[in-house]
Structure 1
Amino acid sequence: MREIIDGGKLDTYIQMHHMDRIFTEQLLQHITLYCFDKGELICSQGDPAQYLYILVEGKIKIYTNSAEGKTLILSFKTPLEVIGDLEYVQSIDFINTVEAVSPVMMIGVQHRWLKQFGHDHAPLLNFLLEIITKKFHLKNKSMSFNIMYPVEVRLASYLLSISFEESELVTSIKDAANLIGTSYRHLNRVITQFCNEGLIERHRGFILVKDIEGLRKLAGDNIYE
């Protein structure tokens, strides 16, 4: 994570996403622009939540880990998205892990400033309420997706969510199995099927996307986003 000292760039994001309508003037004086590299963690499950982050550029991946060490993907997000909203409202630790899928720009504000200057500011509270209720709806949709849809559809959706262009080396097979909630053996069978159909290629444990349109047709609605 790197702090970006560029008032002009910060102001551009504020105006682009109309955040001047959400934050008070006092809060706007305490927000900071941060950059995260691809693969870098924005927050980890169980860590103390001290910041509210707003995604203003790039794509992030949200996943959770079970006590048994299993990893389950919840969603991929693009702007405008908020990280740490529920944690701020409930004063709890981060409940999920969030990772940058691409280079990411985040606006961050410490909880202490939110409590001091925004705890009774109606536009901010309405914004958080809208974001939180939307997340509960999407979480229910994601859980149903992992239960009801076959691995073929989940893998296609996952590959579409993390790839940015055709012929991009996008993920390790082991990570994909964990994140979409299936066994390594089952995923290998589906990967072999996809390779035979010309959708992807396997390269030293990694997956190379070859036919994005074919994956889109298979996935239908891209549930992970």
Structure 2
Amino acid sequence: MGMQQMIKYMEQSEKIYAMMKQCPYEILREWKLTKFKAGSVLFSQGDIQDSFYIMVEGVADISVIGENGKKYVQSTYHKGDMIGELEIVDRLPFISNVEAVTDVVLMGLKREHFLEWLHLDRNFNEYFIRSILKLQYDILKKEGDNNLYTLHDRVCSYLLRCLPHGQKRAEGIVIKVDKQQLSHQFAVTPRSINRILSELKKQGIIDLNKQEIIILDTKQLQLELEDRNSRA
């Protein structure tokens, strides 16, 4: 990958810049680009990868397949997110599947160069540690939210978290996600998701368009979540 392309990705994403701003030149030269089409499986549960990746374009879901054969979406990757950071050091098998929701571009770095980068670059070392700790925090928080909050509140909260990654249009902010993806995200039936989205649409908060959810009123979406929590 050319240095100009690397600089472009760093300038387009604060997360990528924060991670790579002190990356040594000998490490910068080793990055390679890999492209995937929407719907492709990037990595499968149980795979052992010999590279560390950063998502520089697109969106991908992280999921596991339960014993009942159902898919459960655990989280979603966006631009600037690390992939394989939990497994790369000890070459552990992937604990999840990673599937492209949109077309995806990854920057990949071989394990030996990743370990050298971790050793040479104090900035990245600290960034890496903070990211691992935040990931653990988010997992525990999600488990708590699943027990404490209703599905309605969790869907509203999810849509609010997606806003920074949405596409601004005249009618509102467009989030690329459909009902099936949301049912996987929350491990519930599509019917349950459809009921909540229909309520939000009736209130004029969102609109639905095939594989898109259009947020028409972000302020009202926030108030919807706050009002229900205050009544709880």
Query: Which one is further off, 97-106 or 82-91?
Result: 97-106
Cα displacement (A) at 1:219: 4.4
Give the SS at the match of 2:93.
coil
Q: Aligned-residue CA RMSD in angstroms?
A: 3.2
Partner of 2:189: 183
Partner of 1:174: 180
Alpha-carbon deviations, 1:7-34, whole Å to 9, x = none? 311234357715252x444322211133
Written as runs of structure 1 = structure 2, the 5 A alignment for 1:1-225 is 5-13=1-9, 17=17, 19=20, 21=22, 23-115=23-115, 117-118=116-117, 120-121=119-120, 123=122, 124-160=124-160, 161=162, 163-165=166-168, 166=172, 168=174, 170-201=176-207, 208-209=213-214, 211-213=216-218, 214-219=220-225
Note closer, same or farther for the CA distance 1:185–1:168 as it changes in structure 2 (3 Å cut). Answer: same
Note closer, same or farther for the CA distance 1:40–1:215 as it changes in structure 2 (3 Å cut). Answer: farther
Give the SS at the match of 1:30.
coil
Cα displacement (A) at 1:93: 1.5
With the length of structure 1 as denominator, give the TM-score of the two structures: 0.74
Aligned residues: 213
In structure 2, list runs of 5 or more residues that go unmatched: 227-232
Please say if residues 64 and 97 of structure 1, whose CA atoms lie closer than 8 Å, have aligned partners that are also in contact.
yes
Please say if residues 61 and 77 of structure 2, whose CA atoms lie closer than 8 Å, have aligned partners that are also in contact.
yes
Distance of 1:201 and 1:207 partners within structure 2: 9
Distance of 1:172 and 1:127 partners within structure 2: 33
Please say if residues 200 and 207 of structure 1, whose CA atoms lie closer than 8 Å, have aligned partners that are also in contact.
no
Identity of aligned residues (%): 23
Note closer, same or farther for the CA distance 1:35–1:130 as it changes in structure 2 (3 Å cut). Answer: same
With the length of structure 2 as denominator, give the TM-score of the two structures: 0.72
Cα displacement (A) at 1:106: 2.8
Give the SS at the match of 2:142.
helix
Note closer, same or farther for the CA distance 1:127–1:173 as it changes in structure 2 (3 Å cut). Answer: closer
Cα displacement (A) at 1:36: 4.1
Distance of 1:63 and 1:149 partners within structure 2: 21
Cα displacement (A) at 1:167: 7.3
Amino acid at match of 1:191: L
Cα displacement (A) at 1:48: 2.1
Cα displacement (A) at 1:85: 0.9
Distance of 2:8 and 2:98 partners within structure 1: 24
Alpha-carbon deviations, 1:115-163, whole Å to 9, x = none? 4x34643624433222211211111112222222211122223345275
In structure 1, list runs of 5 or more residues that go unmatched: 221-225
Note closer, same or farther for the CA distance 1:159–1:126 as it changes in structure 2 (3 Å cut). Answer: closer
Please say if residues 169 and 207 of structure 1, whose CA atoms lie closer than 8 Å, have aligned partners that are also in contact.
yes
